[in-house]
Structure 1
């Protein structure tokens, strides 16, 4: 049976959401893929080819990233993003799903799994954002200042895509022109900076330990030992708070595990999802 691929946009909660579907077999479960902060579905470019024969895949650009709308009206909180993911999954009439999230996408996955254990049967977390507090009052206040978004744009431009990739990849030899352009592309749209300004205002902090302990679905956690963004001790703590979880850490690997260790990540996902 051949894979059927299509990309589309759907209006959900007032915002246009870009998503990509790889359909293999309607009887197979769907694996929902959620990317991290300042990223897009591009981050899964190496594992999608290895997963698309085993699952139906739904890769989502969380607003305001990737090809999704850069709206200043949408509430860019984790709880609202999770609601958006749930509504998109239901609109596509998906009944059985596993959910996979990298970094910020991991936190959105956890919220979605907490809200809808009937829909998301298993959770996969790659260097997932966890235990971050609510944005400081000063920064939140700053987001209401006119043209604050220009400061965000200036800061990101000063960092540059190469410096940001150096921060998330352990083996810098993996960084090439295709990788740099792929992560830079969404930022050609100036609207993203205004939306990021709104995102600062809406950020509510990560799930508390007592909420994590109520997520009973089987959970797979994969971390890079050299992760500078979400250090490996965060993953170890998360493993202790999620009651039905397994944890793997990888030597000489940074934050961007789907890019750095695609074969290993795919193998663990397959083993985990196929286990009863």
Structure 2
């Protein structure tokens, strides 16, 4: 049975971090779940019950997403988000742990390992972003224009939540009202778009090859063969650049692997961690 402590919030660097903690036992490893761009802890809802059968879980909303803060003075760079999540883990007195990052969350996880490799026993990258360049200077300058956040809102509204979900899952039959409502909820207030404007401004690009090649933490890469957001060739390139890594490719699967095939993803994670903790 999954035991959840919901609604936990902690303030760091003037911003509020929302997280959910799922306890298994005092001796079980702790997995830190980091979601992707425009997402939240909600994206792990189908995977968490499987993971919690064997592990302690902390699932974090990365600002400005989900139920975390959207403060205007916070630095939303990957480097600072990684540093602040490490501070959060220290405040929660979580020592050695395993990082699980989906999409953008994978890049945050890699930044955390770069900063404090001794804290993390292993890393699982689920369709992780990789090699994305820094936002171009024109967009950065535009982000200072008053009401830029309304442009961001209009840009996201062009396709709508259902079309966006169709882009990230291979099996469209999975898209039901609960799923639509869950991913839509954080975008019903304008403060998220103000936060996104700053996130776009601060985005410094993904870690370069030289940094990736210095990461020797055991890494498992799990990829959807039909991923349209972060194509499989990115996963293959990451596998080549991360010295201690293994790549699993899932057929008939898109970008949102924790939603699409949670049992299969858990199986791969559990086998990998059993080998890692031998």
Runs of 4+ in structure 1 off by over 2 angstroms are 2-5
CA distance in 2, matches of 1:51, 1:252: 22
**The residue matched to 1:138 in structure 2 has which SS?**
helix
CA distance in 2, matches of 1:10, 1:159: 34
- TM-score, reference length from structure 1: 0.98
2:21 is aligned with 1:21: yes
CA distance in 1, matches of 2:63, 2:202: 13
Gaps of 5+ in 2: none
CA distance in 1, matches of 2:225, 2:136: 28
Alpha carbon RMSD of aligned pairs, Å? 1.0
Structure 1 counterpart of 2:109: 109
Contact 2:2 2:49 in 1 (8 A): no
What number of residue pairs does the alignment pair up? Answer: 275
CA distance in 2, matches of 1:183, 1:42: 7
What is the CA distance between 1:127 and its match in structure 2? 0.3
CA distance in 2, matches of 1:3, 1:50: 9
Structure 2 counterpart of 1:41: 41
Alpha-carbon spacing, 1:3–1:24, altered in 2? closer, same or farther (3 Å)? farther
CA distance in 1, matches of 2:29, 2:83: 20
Structure 1 counterpart of 2:209: 209
- TM-score, reference length from structure 2: 0.97
2:269 is aligned with 1:269: yes
What is the CA distance between 1:5 and its match in structure 2? 2.4
**The residue matched to 1:118 in structure 2 has which SS?**
helix
2:30 is aligned with 1:30: yes
2:84 is aligned with 1:81: no
What is the CA distance between 1:18 and its match in structure 2? 0.2
After superposition, the C-alpha distances for 1:51-94 in whole angstroms (9 at most, x for unaligned) are: 11211100000001111011221111111110111011111111
Structure 2 counterpart of 1:236: 236
Structure 1 counterpart of 2:121: 121
Structure 1 counterpart of 2:184: 184
2:199 is aligned with 1:199: yes
